Amino acid sequence: MKPVVLLIGRLPNVIGDVARRLDHMPIQWLGAHDQEEVRRQLDAEPRIVCAIMGAGLDDNIRGELVGVIAARRPDICIHLKDRASGPDGLVPFVQRVVQHEILDSLETG
């Protein structure tokens, strides 16, 4: 069974693009764009192993989402993308997080 990663971002097409560009990875991708959708995904999918949040969201929203995730699912690691690398940095960031935090640990575990 593939690990599940929750991608959180401001624009649905950006999240979809990340999943398409990284579809070679053995990951099931879920997307969310607002607090309600994050709650629904967390409640519906117990296999989520981490959440990765893009930099396009306002800092207040990012903070609120971190609180929602931590309160509902304290077992999930939360990764926030930096703003300095810009939109082009999202795919490499997600790829690095997934490779090092999930896939490498599956190989050694």
Give tens-digit pLDDT for 48-81.
Answer: 999 999 999 999 999 999 999 999 999 999 999 9
**Topology of domain 4-104, per CATH?**
Rossmann fold (3.40.50)
H or E element in which residue 14 lies? helix 12-21
Domain boundaries, the chain: 4-104
Position of tokens 């940095």? 89
pTM over the 0.85 mark: yes
* Confidence label for 109 from pLDDT (cuts 50, 70 and 90): low
Contact 94, 52 (CB under 8 A): yes
pLDDT reading at 106 higher than 90: no
pLDDT reading at 107 higher than 90: no
pLDDT reading at 41 higher than 90: yes
Distance CA 99, CA 56 (A): 23
pLDDT reading at 39 higher than 80: yes
